[in-house]
Amino acid sequence: MVDLTRRSLMATSVAAAVGAGMSGVASADVEETDTVGAPSVRGELKRFASTSLGAEVTGPFVFENDNTLLFSHQHPSRDNPENWSRGGIGYVSGFNFTLDGSNDDFSELSVPTTADEQSRVRVGNGEYVFLARQEDPIDGGSEQLGVPETPDGNPIDRYAGSRYTEPGYTPDCNQFIPTNEDATEGYLFTNFETSPGNVTRIPISKTDDGEWESNLDDAINLANTDGLRSLGGTRINCGGNRTPYGTYVSSEEEYAHPRTSYASTVSGTLEAGSGEGKRGAAHFWNRPNPAEIPSKEYVTWYPQGAFALSGVELAAYYLGADAIDQEGPGQSTWDVDTPSGIDARANGTAVEVDETNTRDPIGEGYPNRYRYGYQLEIRDPAAETPTPVKHYVMGRAAWEMPSFQPDNQTVYELSDGDNKAIYKFVADQPLDEYDDPMQVSGTLYAAKVTNDAASAADAGQRNSPANTNLELEWLPLGNATNAEIESWIAEYDDITQVDYLETHADTDWEEDLDAAIEEADKEVIANGNQNYITDQEIADWATQYEERGPDGVDEELRRVPFLETNAAAKEIGASADFNKAEGIDSIDDAQPGDFVYFGISEFNDSLADDVSDVQLDRVDGGLVYRGELGPNYDISRLEPAIVGPDSTDSAAISDDALLNVDNVHVMDDGRVLCCEDADQLGRSYPNDCLYVYQPSVMVDVESKAVGYGATGTANVYAKSLPAGFSGAQVTITVSNPEVATITGVEFPDALGLTESSISDDGSTAMLRFADTDRNVQAGGHNVTVASLTLRGDSTGTTDLNVSVNQMDDESGKAIDAEARSGVLVTGPPTVTGASAPTDPDGDGLYEDVNGNGRLDYEDIQLLFSNFDSDSVTMNKSAYDFNENGGLDFDDIVSLYEEVN
């Protein structure tokens, strides 16, 4: 692999297949070519399940009690046999993962070839059994699974209006919250991806014969509880996850949030003097019949996210707005008489739905667009009525899913759709320590890709994403509390469709509605929707951000990055290049050194253009990246783990490759469940599949910094060991022994037999060890196999290179392992490129930064100018002048005070 950051990665088990054949989808203005390494896998990929026609595999979850797999059967074709024509949630009966890190625990499923195989769910082992299906009677028969209702109890799908999807048809994320010690009983929380959105809570339990069963009589739609309705309800609930402290989090995939379409920016729109060709769906939120905006002849482009404007009127009726142009509340679209309000479709009876949207403006009760697009936490999950909390501090986007880290402070987030960024939220204190969740505070960050190798322009050529890591810098957007942001949101609560017309058109809409709508549309296209945060406010925020930093902007502008997150990220140069970032997860108790997996469904459009931060070859089949967690749960690099096929690849290649990855779920042994939302490309079959990814074993030495003449310890790790290992022989080499040498080796007590030898010049250590007592077993974490003692002999930097000479598993089978190099920095190294820093008073702190033998103002200036450089950050003990154990700007102030 390409060495990008002084830490090379040598892949010894990458299987690459490159083929040509069927042409694919052209979604970027870049010539379609065969991409090197597409498809490829760092490890093994094995098909476990295939869906019925039209359906996705979503919401994969593995029960901790028995390692049973559960997943959703989302939006299947209505042409499937009855049992497979409705959305549902089910588990795999008769099979349990062994969680030993190996894919040997199941048989690989063949591709579906016959009409029967393609019209149902198939699994490699066991049988898929439904626990609940679309519109099943729940809550004592008073409601239907997944169907929101108006405040007076009418099912929302009985009203005329555009549909985002059918209620109950699109179950997505699933998470089980146990209520007993054995985790055999508890609540299954499931998202429903529609508008208005929904989350259901279903009691489930494990029977004496090892099966799982649901109690639908006691299941509830959280959408119909007062708590969720008081938040404005929810929309397009897609992925989600559990927090480390045992609550459920549902992600709102608010696709209608873009202010500008695709690569356009607010500042570019202002500069152009018009939003034609640039406006996104957000500007048309409160337009009468917003979903029709793309069909108007004066809209010459597709406003990004406009498809998600459908269902907004139904969300208004859900909140209690008076129904417009309805034959009667809850009556206009149904011509059936069913008991207890239960939809006849639950019994397989097709009923015509009126999707006509009214153009008469809706007034009081219209939903506030700033109340959607957040991470929704369900606190008190086992209470009679759980408590919903929207974490406004985590930003507003088309969230696919979050990954909460075990520090209870760090959350990684992916936003679905074109030209979206990757985000990180860091709470000011652990989330479970806030007595009032509205007081949760923290900093929201957006990622910027910084390395030259990711840019075709900088690298002089277009590189393959299969061979290119992405180096990340995290740009802080702002810091606030949930309560502060909610108060900003509340300022927009009374905006209605009437306001759209009366703000943007002089024509009296009551006299000529069509003319008023057209006049308002054209004004909004030109100058933006003035009912919400304006373009100028976003531009002003960005200007002040650049001048003063995120904490120095005017108070009235602090709301911008939290309510218009994607637009703000674009304005300050974050890499809003990612396309369909749809899956993110890590092992539940992740530690520094473990991986977070990022699923990017398609690698094209802005990821493969000639102007964005990322300019690589396109892979329409998408990628799965992995990011290694640092000491503070930080991620600074994404490296490709799975690369999908090219659109030019033949069925022989695409049939067995991961295609358009969606949800990912990391099991306790480090394997990754990968779900597809496929465009099919050149495949011979039309079904989506679920694959299990077994990462390749990695042997890794950690990077370290040691002082000149001092010693330090660097651990050697093995990762992703399947079923443990019997032994190995590994060689560690210091590339520049003039900088540092190896002086000693120690092994953990868990290893039964160990042996090491160090070369006379200290440049090489040979390590041999055997796990005679079978103490080292599989798991998602690093396993320490040795510790090296390293001495800094001169200032400088040297690589620590790893060679895996031999590694065997517990059956004696050879393991093909990847070797990952580390970096050793000794010093402190030269900051200026001339003289090395010195420690004038012998206190271990290198106050003489420029190495001229005295303290002066140049020392302060050099430290300030190089504060983020490796020469400083990897030697914090040398520059920690305030002696608080870390590096911060007070160290510069402390040095300034000492010079004075």
Q: Which residues contact 232 (CB under 8 A, 6 or more apart)?
A: 319, 367, 368, 371, 372
One DSSP character per residue, 866-897 reads TTTSHHHHTTHHHH-TT-SSS--HHHHHHHHH
**pLDDT under 70 in the chain at which residues?**
1-33, 327-355, 457-460, 778-780, 827-835
The alpha carbon dihedral of 315, 395, 635, 457 has a sign of positive
C-beta separation of 673 from 43 below 8 A: no
How far is the C-alpha of 275 from the C-alpha of 873, rounded, in Å?
44
Q: Which pLDDT score is estimated for 242?
A: 97
First to last CA, the chain: 50
CA distances from 250 to 17, 157, 240, 359, 384 (A): 38, 22, 4, 32, 19
Instruction: For residue 838, give the DSSP letter.
Output: B
Q: Which pLDDT score is estimated for 53?
A: 97
Verdict on whether the full-model pTM lies above 0.85: yes
Of 188, 133, 189, 134, the C-alpha closest to 157 is 134
Residue 674: its H or E element:
strand 672-676
C-beta separation of 50 from 112 below 8 A: yes
How far is the C-alpha of 386 from the C-alpha of 247, rounded, in Å?
10
How far is the C-alpha of 59 from the C-alpha of 241, rounded, in Å?
9
Q: Which pLDDT score is estimated for 3?
A: 27
Instruction: For residue 743, give the DSSP letter.
Output: E
How far is the C-alpha of 139 from the C-alpha of 412, rounded, in Å?
35
Q: Which pLDDT score is estimated for 457?
A: 62
Q: Which pLDDT score is estimated for 471?
A: 95
Q: Ramachandran region of residue 709, left (φ > 0), alpha (ψ -120 to 50) or beta? A: left
How far is the C-alpha of 665 from the C-alpha of 61, rounded, in Å?
7
C-beta separation of 392 from 482 below 8 A: yes
Q: Which residue has the tokens 């109950």?
A: 168
Q: Which residue has the tokens 């299941």?
A: 219
Instruction: For residue 469, give the DSSP letter.
Output: -
C-beta separation of 41 from 818 below 8 A: no
Q: Which pLDDT score is estimated for 834?
A: 54
Instruction: For residue 603, give the DSSP letter.
Output: B
How far is the C-alpha of 677 from the C-alpha of 51, rounded, in Å?
11
How far is the C-alpha of 559 from the C-alpha of 536, rounded, in Å?
14
Residue 270: its H or E element:
helix 266-272
C-beta separation of 695 from 671 below 8 A: yes
Q: How many helices (H) and strands (E) does the chain have?
A: 16, 42
How far is the C-alpha of 330 from the C-alpha of 343, rounded, in Å?
11
